[in-house]
Amino acid sequence: MISKIDGYTYLDAVLVLVPLAKIVPSEDGSYANSEWLDDRAAPTAEDVANKLTELKSVEPAYYLREERNKRLSETDLWGLQDFPTTQDQSAYRQALRDITDTYKSLEGVVWPEKP
């Protein structure tokens, strides 16, 4: 799972390539020095590096969605049937849902103004 501190690591890539793999992480943070304990074939270093690059390419969008979801959850009450919701509130929530159509990372995002 992606860590807000480190982002994706080679372990994430390994686990995508070999789900539930049995691997002892290396102390130096490298795949080459990790210990493979699984009966299945270990992925090559190149396969791990390629998968890690692929995972990191979607990382900015992950953080954008996380922030968007946090902002949406702050207004969940507005979505209840028995709660009177204004047009501005509905428009704000829709703008949050649509934010990923315009932006692919948190960089430069212009968030809609909360009513």
Burial category of 8 from C-beta neighbours within 10 Å (exposed 0-12, middle 13-18, buried 19 and up) = buried
Q: Quote the tokens at residue 4.
A: 């807000």
Interacting residues of 53 by C-beta distance below 8 A, sequence separation 6+ = none
| pLDDT of 85 | 86
Q: Quote the tokens at residue 66.
A: 């996380």
| pLDDT of 3 | 62
| pLDDT of 42 | 97
| pLDDT of 59 | 87
For the chain, domain boundaries: 10-102
| pLDDT of 108 | 92
Single pTM value for the model: 0.64
| pLDDT of 72 | 94
In tens digits, what is the pLDDT along the chain, a chain of 115 residues?
566 666 889 999 999 999 999 999 999 989 999 999 999 999 999 999 999 999 888 889 989 999 999 999 999 888 777 888 899 999 999 999 999 999 999 999 999 999 9
